[in-house]
Amino acid sequence: MKFRTFCLLLSLIACAGLAAAPLRIFYTGDTHGVYSAREVKPDSLWQGGYLILEEHLNRMRSQSDMPSLYLDSGDQQTGTIFASLVEDGVHGGAVLQVFNRLGLDASVYGNHEFDFSYGNTRDLARLASYPFVCTNLLDKSTGKSVSGTPWTIIERGGLRIGIFGITLELLPEKVKAENVRSVRILPPADAINLHLDEVDLKTDLIVVLTHQGFEADSLLAAQLDDRVDLIIGGHDHIWARQPPLVNGKYLLYSGSHLNWLGVADLDIVADRVASLSNRLQPLSSNTNKFSTPLADYIQQKVLAIGEQMSRLIGYIPVDWVPNKYESTPVSRWVANSLRMEYRAIYNPDLAIINNGGIRKAIPAGPLTLGDLAEMLPFNNNVVVFSCYGRDLLIFDELNAQHAIGKPHDICERTQLDGKRVDPEAIYRVVSHDYVAGQWDKYLGFKPFDVYDTGDLILDAMIRQASLQFSVPEAEGWD
């Protein structure tokens, strides 16, 4: 249906007066469980969060007669305590209930939808009232789509929109191996082409939702023919007010953490996008107080989070007393635990954290979830980056200077398993976005191959504390 050339299309429009069918596509991605708004000063505005997203969606839906649909490019999970809540037996289920209430029409699996277990990943699709479109991930035992939906078709305003879903081929490098052991991953273009003839015959527009990053999206766009019209992508947290056009396909990106809502207005003529106008709507509001069913639901979950803060994780054997300018038991524990948490996924050679990010002293004895949340109060994401051995030598010297002169807090870094630093070797480091972003202050070198995992360091430390200080092993403590 989409094999007509664009010149012929323009000719048909001019000669036959074909009417353009309008369509508005709202899109988000990499939302990472951002359930609450944050205050932006000095403007006294509130930014982000599900309720401000709902406010903008409701207003724009009500103010226009244009048919619309809302799509998401994955990584709805991981990043806040809200995203770790269990709903109907599903980790992250509260996030699904939010998107159900927001009227999401379709999503794709991101890598963080695989963080808990393979079974939980499939349960996410079960709990959602919208499809997780999963074209290139197949269950090895059945040969069928992991989510059960290799593609879907949505009808709006007389238009039939076909939707494919692509998750990054490097998925096994981003999650625990056992979580994807049952998954067969097809090359994206091959997976789409398996179904493209059938979907094209039934649709007026074809959209590919992806969670693989701009570089992989560009390659995919070059490999697909002109029956595919749009790619809406995620994973690398980029945004684009003016969508790139690759091989006749628009590539749309809305950033991450609900900073923006993507809004693309299209005119469809003879199975082609005759025009596209795109904008990124800032998700801001002059209030964070809302009275909607979704607000009531989130408030219930916030109360549940408050109750969880008193949950006992275990018992720590020594006092944890942070010091910005000295290595301490707690700074060593955080750094070593960070490396342990990500050893199976990224195999880092060492970990680096800044000691100033540890803000609460905790005496030996009971350790609660609230203690950890107060000890690590900043919403820092875990990142992985590379550097040369000579960079580490520069870092060590700078860190020693900071310990003496105290212009900045020092960093804790783990050792290299008893090995000496090789100046010419490349080392992989696990850290967090604050250290990586302030590299000139903390590291003394600019890291490369930086990858933001989307994980909160707090979540990683909660998991490690639960493993290392479990309550059953704490007999004898009062």
**How many residues belong to the chain?**
478
User: Whose structure tokens read 């990500």?
Assistant: 342
Distance CA 362, CA 338 (A): 19
Instruction: Say what the pLDDT of residue 7 is.
Output: 47
In one letter, which amino acid is 438? Q
C-alpha–C-alpha distance, residues 159 and 204, integer Å:
6
Residues 137 and 188: their CA atoms lie apart, in Å, by 9
Pairing relation of β-strands 21-28 and 68-72? parallel
pLDDT band at 472 (very low <50, low <70, confident <90, very high): low
Predicted local confidence at residue 471, as pLDDT = 66
pLDDT at 278 over 60: yes
Mean pLDDT for the chain?
Answer: 92
Q: What is the pLDDT of residue 34?
A: 92
309 pLDDT band (50/70/90 cuts)? Answer: confident
Kindly tell me the sign of the dihedral angle through the C-alpha atoms of 273, 155, 103, 149: negative
**Model confidence over 140-181: pLDDT tens digits?**
999 999 999 999 999 999 999 999 999 999 998 788 778 999
Distance in angstroms between the alpha carbons of the first and the last residue of the chain: 73
Contact by Cβ (8 Å): 342, 384: yes
Q: In which band, very low, low, confident or very high, does the pLDDT at 115 lie, cut at 50, 70 and 90?
A: confident
* Homologous superfamily, domain 312-473: 5'-Nucleotidase, C-terminal domain (3.90.780.10)
- Split at pLDDT 50, 70, 90, the class of 307 is confident
Segments making up each domain of the chain, as ranges: 6-304, 312-473
Give the tokens for residue 176. Answer: 């625990």
Integer-rounded Cα radius of gyration of the chain: 24
Q: How far is CA 71 from the centre of its chain?
A: 15
Tens-digit pLDDT profile for residues 408-418? 899 999 999 87
pLDDT above 60: residue 356: yes
Position 397, amino acid = E
pLDDT of residue 476: 35
pLDDT (0 to 100) of residue 337: 97
The whole-number pLDDT of residue 1 equals 46
Does the structure show a pLDDT above 50 at 78? yes
Mean pLDDT of 218-238: 97
Q: 6-304, superfamily in CATH?
A: Metallo-dependent phosphatases (3.60.21.10)
On whether the CB atoms of residues 106 and 198 are closer than 8 A, the answer is no
Determine the average pLDDT of the residues in 48-55.
Answer: 97
Question: 233: pLDDT confidence band, cut at 50, 70 and 90?
Answer: very high
pLDDT, position 44: 80
Verify cis geometry, omega within 30 degrees of 0, for the bond prior to 42.
yes
Name which of 44-58, 61-75, 218-232, 360-374 the model is least confident about: 360-374
How far is 459 from 168, CA to CA, in rounded Å?
23
Q: What is the 3-state secondary structure (H, E, C) of the chain?
A: CCCCCHHHHHHHHHHHCCCCEEEEEEEECCCCCCCCCEEECCCCEEECCHHHHHHHHHHHHHHCCCCEEEEECCCCCCCCCHHHCEECCEECHHHHHHHHHHCCCEECCCHHHHCCCHHHHHHHHHHCCCCECCCCEEECCCCCECCCCCEEEEEECCEEEEEEEEECCCHHHCCCHHHCCCEEECCHHHHHHCCHHHHHHCCCEEEEEEECCHHHHHHHHHHCCCCCCEEECCCCCCECCCCCEECCEEEECECCCCCEEEEEEEEEECCEEEEEEEEEEECEECCCCCCCHHHHHHHHHHHHHHHHCCCEEEEECCCECCCCCCCCHHHHHHHHHHHHHHHHHHCCCEEEEEHHHCCCCECCEEEEHHHHHHHCCCCCEEEEEEEEHHHHHHHHHHHHHHHHHCCCCCEEECCCCCCCCCCCCEEEEEEEHHHHHCHHHHCCCCCEEEEEEEEEHHHHHHHHHHHHCEHHHCCCCC
pTM for the model stands at: 0.77
